[in-house]
Each structure stands twice: as C-alpha cells, then as structure tokens.
Chains A and B, each alone.
Chain A
Amino acid sequence: MTENVKSRIEAAYQALAEEARDQKETFDQSPLPKIHIGMASCGIASGALETQAAFEAALKDRGVEAHVHTVGCLGHCYAEPVVIIDHPDSGFPPILYPEVTPGKAKMLVKLFLEGGDPRFEHIMGATVENEMIPSVMEFARFNREKRVVMERCGKIDPEKINEYIAQGGYGALVKGLGRTPESIIAEIEASGLRGRGGAGFPTGKKWQFARNAAGSDKLIICNADEGDPGAYMDRTLLESNPHQVIEGMMIAALAVGATRGLFYVRAEYPLAVRILTTAVDQARELGLLGTDILGSGLDFDIDLFQGSGAFVCGEETALIRSVEGFRGMPRHRPPYPVEHGLDGRPTVINNVKTLATIPPIVEKGADWFRGIGTPGSPGTAVFSIVGNVTHPGLVEIPMGVTLRELIFDICGGIPKQKKFKAVQIGGPSGGCLSADFLDTPVDFDELRQAGAMMGSGGMVVMDEDSCMVDVSRYFLDFTQKESCGKCTFCRVGTRHLLNILQRLTRGEGKEGDIKQLETLSRAVQQGSLCGLGKTAPNPILTSVAYFKEEYEAHIQEGRCPGCACRTLTAFYIDLDKCARGCDACVACCPVDAVFTTSTRKKGIDQELCVKCGECMVACPPEYDAVVKISPAHLAPIIERPSEKKS
C-alpha cells in the first residue's frame, strides 16, 4: 500500500472521528443532567422500558430538562434496571442507582434532578472517585474486573455508531488497513489469543490457514449461535457494543483476504438482530463497510443470517450446513472450513468474543495483551455467572483468577447463608466441580484438566440444596434433545444415559448403574464425531468423580441429599411448630393437598402433593413448620379427616 493511500485512509477516518468527537463533546459539556439507562435484554426483562417511560413522563410533568441516554448492559444483572445519573449542577459526581423501578425514577426526577438530593439510601456508588460518595470501585465486583471485550458495554448507545467512533472505535481498523495481512496475523499469533467459543484454538493459526488456503472468495463468519442454556454474554455483547465485533471481523477479513462476512445470530435474540442490523447499516453509510472502504480500494460487506435454534449449529461444519439450507449436521474434518467451508469457499469461523478482542490487540499490541491473564491463556474471560450467587451477571476477569475469588469475592458468595456445593462450568459440555477445586485458576488448560471446560462461559453456582444427579439429568436431557442424530453413540447413547439418570432421580437405581454410566459415557465420547457428543457425558463423568456419594445415596437409600429430586422427597408439617389459626399453606397450595386436621393444625396429603415447595415459602418464618425430607417415606403420615357430612 502506498503512502498516498495510507494518508487518504487516515484523512477519511479523521473526518469521521472529528465529527463523532464533536458530537460527544457537545453532549458531555451540556449542563443538563444525563440519565443513562441500561437497555440490553436483561435490563428490558427487568423493566427498563417502563423505567425509561417513567423518567420521560416525570421529566415532562415537572418541566425538567435532561438527556435520557439509552446504553447497553453493564453486566450487573442482579441490580437491573441500572441507571446512572450525571447531574453536574448538583455538585455530585455521576451516581449509579440499582433496581430503578418506575416509582424510583419519578422520585429521583423530583428529589434529585429538581431538589438536588441524590437520596443516599438508593445509591450503589459514584462511578468515579470523589470525596463525597463512596465509589463503586470499592466493590470487588467493579475493581477486580478487567474489561477488554466489555470495556465500552453500558457506556455507549449501541445504536449510534458515532458514540463508538468518539471513543476511538474503528481506529484499529485504520491501523490494520495500513499494515500487511501477514503482520496482522503475526501480531495476533504473538498475542496468544485463543478462540473464545470454548475449544481455545489459537486464532492467529486459524487465520494463517485460511490465508494460505487456495481460492479468492474467502469468508468470515461470526458465530453468535449461543446455545448453552445458561449463557448470554455473546448476546449482551452484540446488544451493547456491536461495532467492536464488526471492527474485529473487518480486521479478520483484512488478515485472511476475505470480502464477505456473515453474522450467524440466533433468531431467538430479536434485539441483538435488530441492533446488529442497525450497526451494519450505519457502518455502511459512513463508508466503513461496502466498496472502497475509507478510500483504501478494499471491499468488504456483512450479511446477517438468523440461526433457527439448534445447539449443534455451534459446531462449525453444522453451522455451515444450516446456512446452506440443510439440517445442521456436522461432517468429518478435514477438510477444515478454513479450506473448504461455506459453498466450498475458505471460511473462518470466529466466536463473538474472539472478534471483539481483536481491535484492542491491534490497537495496543500483542505485548499488552500478553500482560493480561496467564502465559497459556492470555487475555480475559467473560463469564455469565448465575444460580445461587448473591450477585449474578456478566463478569470479565483476567484469566488465572481462581474460582474462589470469582464466586466469593467478585460475585458475593452464596446467599441465605447456605453452603457452596458445586460450580458447573461450560454448560452442557462442561463439568461440575466440587469445593476442592475452588482454587483452580480460570484458564483453558487448568479447567480441562479438572474435567470441566471453558466452554461458552456459562457458570452456574449451586448451593447445598442442589442435587448433582438431577443437574446431570438436566444437561443430558438437553444434549439428548439437541443431538442431531448422525452418530449412533450420541443419538442412542445419550438416550440411555438419560434413562439411567431418570431412574436414579426416581429412586429406581440399581447396583451397577454408576459403572454403567461411566462405561457408556466413555463410549459416547469416543463414538461421536463432533463436540456435542464428545462432551455431552462431561456433566456425568465429573459429577460421578466428585460427588459419587450422591449417586450412591440415590441408588442405595433412595435418598436425595439435596432434597431436590421430587419423587424422593416429601414435605410434611411439623405439628409442634404449626400454628392453629394460620391458613397460609392451605391457601397457596396449587393442588389443594394441604388440609386442616381436627386440631385445626395442618397436614399434607402425600398422594396429592406435587412437591412444588410453595407451602414452605408461604409458612411464616416465626413458625417455620414445613419440613422437607428425603427419602419420602420418612415423612410422618397425618390422616386427612373425612369430609364432614352436611
């Protein structure tokens, strides 16, 4: 590329950046208060739209002027809807408010925006260090995170490309345009970046293979077919900062010499699809996509394909089949997609987070990236941590942080003073780790060694009330349904594994079941073609290895130690604690199983009871009379009085 072209690209970009920065400056320096509302799916699910409407109505009613600024997700799902109010005139720094209901929104407009009182009791913290209000940076949840991929999430409006450009967005693309493809690939290889889709294949290598592949019509696919039933960071990223992913994809295209890109997004993610479509359109309008990008003479454009919801399509050859219009069934590799992909063209398939990591690496260099994380797995990991933790949500941490720090320090530990039992990492392909593994660092290789895997990054924390057999059954139920049916071991084997687990949870286990589970699991691993079948038995193998006593309790005693398997559990009412006058449990029972005895205390009809646990929740804490017990036959029998004759 000649110096002439380079300076033309630079000039074109600077013109865009200048306008974007001007817009940002006007917005930032506006004396009006700014209300930033987190509006990704999780925020909307928690009522952010209602909150936004309440803010707008209250501002109008009271005649207060302010900017309502919708942004993406900060990752603090436990606190949604999250609102940051920046009210320069009040003298306070920008303040983060959790759980802003429409009522709170109205109150904040009246008391804070009008009255200048920030209502300390509702504050989580200030977003910057200051001398008046404790900063959110004092919480482990904020100061232990290291944001590379999610750096701008929750700060910019994902539907305005200029907000991304004003923060230096597409700068890495300009840098990339000025370099040779070989040097970009070398930089990515040197950074040690490994694919964030789960398997951890070195990204630079993949690009090199595609670069070397014969054929001119190369293709980049961004795999946003997030199928793990407990993970949602790809969606959040696309909803909060789509341009970083697009920019990453364009750099990948430069490196391998591709002219077309494709986003494979789940159709179940309507908001992500909408935001991505807007983002691509806006980039095209500014000349960042299309023909002759920024005057460089290079062409690249992006299409969107909506995935129809099949877990197996996360596997790259299956994904390609589904784009081609067939059932999404994987095929043998080699040839690898990098040589023979969609319609026979060389195709690079990268995960959303992988692509989002590219711009920061090109911007700041491989050495900077290597400085984060561990030598074997540089960079950060994004997890969606859910289940029995105090602060669930999305967390981005440097690789190498231990599970203990992650669960107990950053996410606040287990609520209700319960004990930690297990953490499930990697969804249906991952494994359950016991408390003995809490000091394992988060890292591709360390986790694999422990029997779990990084997987998609879903992490479910379970307390003492969870049953490991039931969790394995849940995941097998999922993989069994999602198995495409190509390989016998996966199709039939997972069915048999599920049958055994279902028997165990019903208390019908027999000697030898554990052995059978292990043997069959190994066979399914060996006899399956793709990752789905190869990893489907992981939840069983790890839980059998680390929680064998739970399996034994189910088989030998018909007892579920977590009291979670419903056939093995019974609820009864402790007559010594039950209060006569209270009818809470009777009223709440969905099947009328709770009855009043002759002493006006209550009993539970074990025949009718569906074990939903509603009476346990309803029983006032001062009585706490409902007891859960396993095995079920231990529950004392209370006779239901015969119906009074009228």
Chain B
Amino acid sequence: MNPLSSEDLANIEVLKKQIKDAPKGRGQLIPLLQMAQNILGYLPDKALSLVADYLSINRSDVYGVASFYNQFRFNPPGKNPVKVCMGTACHVRGGEIILENFERKLEIKEGDTTEDREFSIERVACVGCCALAPVALVGETLHGHMAPSKVEGLVLRVQLEREKAEREAGNS
C-alpha cells in the first residue's frame, strides 16, 4: 500500500469538510466515491472508510462497490498520467504495441504508478478520435498516430520539461 503523502492528508481534510453537506442514503454511495476521487485523485483506504462511515455502510461493502467499477482507482495517479486508448480502432492499428512501449520505457505495468509519482499508465476505452488511431493521452494532451518512437519522445519531453522547471526554480 502506498503511504499517504502530505498532499493526500490535506485533501482528506478537504473531503471531510465537503462530505458533511452531502445528502445521505445508499444511492449516494457512487456520487460520494466520485467526489472523493475528484479531490484525491484516487481512493486510499482512509477515503473509503470516511465514505463508509458517513453513509453507515460496511467498509467491505464500499470496497466491493468501488472495485467493481473501472472509474475508481486505489493507487495514486502520476503527475503525468499516460492513458493509452484500447478502443477497437486503436487495437486494429496497434494500440497494444504502444502500451507495451510505455510499459517498457517507464518500467511499470499498466495500472501502476512510478515510484516518484511522475508517471502512471492506464488503458482507457475509446476516447473518440478513432481517425487518429492509435492514440494516447499524456496528462490532458492527446497524441494521435502514435508510434513506438513517439513514445520515447513523449517521455523524454516530459522529463526535459521537468528538469528545465527545476533549473529555473533553482535559479530564481
């Protein structure tokens, strides 16, 4: 299990405040889990138990619901979440090869986050620009017509930008 970062702890406080105004009832379970994930980026045990206690539902039950749906994740996303489209059109055009390249390059498996929380890899269903297949999202930016060499370039670019930001932060 990932230890909670200081940012996570601060977000949990935000969640505690916001959850107080929410209506109760079993039907609120999924909306509240969504709210928790919006605030935290993922659902750590602490968030699940907050929701469970608020709605007076068993924690195991809450986990059962959360783990049923694809939307909910239990490990923190990276600062640059990589989402590789696994829609039908992308599959036909080699989406799996792109996913493998990200996995190889970042040395993590799909669903995981790198140790420094810089990158995470997810597979997503159709993002709806099948004409650009295969596609991948890094952060919010969509990259179409992906190729293995582009994977290298994208990862390198993010790393260079981070180094540049660090240098600038160091200078000022």
Q: Which residues of A have CB within 8 Å of B78? A: none
Q: Mark B59-100, 1 if CB is under 8 A from A, else 0.
A: 000001100111110000000000000111101111001001
Q: Are A229 and B104 in contact (CB under 8 A)?
A: no
B92 and A388 within 8 A (CB):
yes
Tell whether, in the assembled complex, residue B91 and residue A41 are in contact, meaning their CB atoms are under 8 Å apart: no
CA distance in complex: A45, B128 (Å): 8
- A590 interface residue per 8 A CB criterion: yes
Q: Which residues of A contact B101 (CB under 8 A)?
A: 590, 612
Bin chain A's interface residue count: 35 or more
Residue in A45, A388, A590 whose beta carbon sits within 8 Å of that of B127 in the complex? A45
Q: Residue A140 at the B interface, CB < 8 A?
A: no
Task: Tell whether A460 pairs with B88 under 8 Å between CB atoms, given A41-B127, A46-B132, A308-B34.
Answer: yes
**Cross-chain contact A45 with B89 (CB below 8 angstroms):** no
CB-nearest residue of chain B relative to A326? Answer: B65
What are the interface flags for B17-52 relative to A under an 8 Å C-beta threshold, 1 for contact and 0 otherwise?
Answer: 000000001111111011000000000000000000
Shortest beta-carbon distance, A477 to chain B, in Å? 9
* A305 to B129 Cα, complex, angstroms: 25
Contact in complex: A325, B29 (CB < 8 Å): yes
Query: Which residues on the A side are within 8 Å of B33 (C-beta)?
Result: 308
- A42/B129 in contact, CB under 8 A: yes
Q: Which residues of B contact A614 (CB under 8 A)?
A: 147-149
CB proximity of A425 to chain B, nearest CB, Å: 11
Given A77-B131, A229-B126, A231-B126: A588 and B149 interface contact (C-beta under 8 Å):
yes
B135 at interface, CB cutoff 8 A: yes
Answer yes or no: B124 CB below 8 A from chain A CBs.
yes
Contact of B68 among A230, A324, A327 (CB under 8 A): A327
Query: Are B92 and A325 interface neighbours, CB within 8 A?
Result: no
The residue among A322, A325, A462 with the most chain B CB atoms within 10 A of its own CB is A325
**Beta-carbon contact of B89 and A268 below 8 Å:** no
- A229 to B86, Cβ gap below 8 A? yes
- The answer to whether A460 touches B92, judged by C-beta atoms less than 8 angstroms apart, is yes
Query: Chain A 63-78 against B: per-residue CB contact (8 Å), 1 yes, 0 no?
Result: 0000000000000011
| A-chain residues with CB within 8 Å of residue B70 when the two chains form the complex | 308-310
Indicate whether B121 reaches chain A with its CB closer than 8 angstroms: no
Give Cα A613 to B96, complex, Å.
12
Within the complex, the shortest CB–CB distance from A625 to chain B, in Å, comes to 18
In the assembled complex, which residues on chain B have CB atoms less than 8 Å from the CB atom of A308?
30, 33-34, 69-72
Q: Is the CB of A323 within 8 A of B27?
A: yes
Q: Which of B121-142 contact A (CB under 8 A)?
A: 124-133, 135, 142
Give chain B residues whose Cβ lies under 8 Å from the Cβ of A462: 92
* Chain B residues, Cβ within 8 Å of A235: 128
Per-residue 0/1 for A424-440: is the Cβ within 8 Å of any B Cβ (1 yes, 0 no)? 10010000000000000
Closest-by-CB residue of B relative to A474 is B91
Q: Chain B residues near A323 (CB, 8 Å)?
A: 27, 30
B151 part of interface (Cβ distance < 8 Å): yes
How many A-B residue pairs have C-beta atoms within 8 angstroms? Tell me: 144
| CB-CB nearest in chain A for B135 | A45
Residues of B within 8 A of A45 (CB): 127-129, 132, 135, 142, 144
User: Across the interface, do A306 and B89 meet the contact criterion of CB distance under 8 Å?
Assistant: no
Does B152 sit at the interface, judged by CB under 8 A? yes
| Residue in B closest to A77 when the chains form the complex, CB atoms | B131
Interchain CB contact under 8 A, A386 and B133: yes
Residue from B26, B91, B131, B149 in contact with A393 in the complex, judged by beta carbons closer than 8 Å: B131
Q: Are A306 and B133 in contact (CB under 8 A)?
A: no
Residues A230 and B126 in contact, CB atoms below 8 Å apart? yes
Point out the residues of chain A lying under 8 angstroms from B31, CB to CB.
Answer: 305-306
A267 within 8 A of B: yes
Query: Nearest B residue to A47 by beta-carbon distance?
Result: B142
Residues of A within 8 A of B126 (CB): 228-232
For A267, the chain B residues whose CB sits under 8 A away are 34, 71
| Residue A466 at the chain B interface, CB threshold 8 Å | yes
The answer on a CB contact under 8 Å between A613 and B94 is yes
Identify B94's interface contact among A229, A387, A393, A612, CB under 8 A.
A612
CA distance A613 to B29 in the complex (A): 46
| Chain A stretch 403-424: residues in CB contact (< 8 A) with chain B | 424
A107 at the interface (CB under 8 A from B): no
The chain A residues found within 8 Å of chain B, CB to CB, are 41-42, 45-46, 77-78, 80, 227-232, 235-236, 267-268, 305-306, 308-310, 322-328, 343, 384, 386-388, 392-393, 424, 427, 458, 460, 462, 466, 471, 474, 484, 588, 590-591, 610-614, 617-618
Known: A590-B148, A590-B152, A610-B104. 5 other contacts (CB 8 A): A77-B129, A230-B87, A309-B71, A386-B130, A612-B100
14 contacts between A and B (CB under 8 A): A41-B129, A228-B126, A229-B88, A267-B34, A267-B71, A305-B30, A308-B30, A325-B65, A424-B88, A590-B105, A590-B151, A612-B101, A614-B147, A617-B147
Q: Which 4 residue pairs of A and B lie closest in terms of their CB atoms, listed nearest first?
A: A230-B88, A308-B69, A386-B130, A325-B29
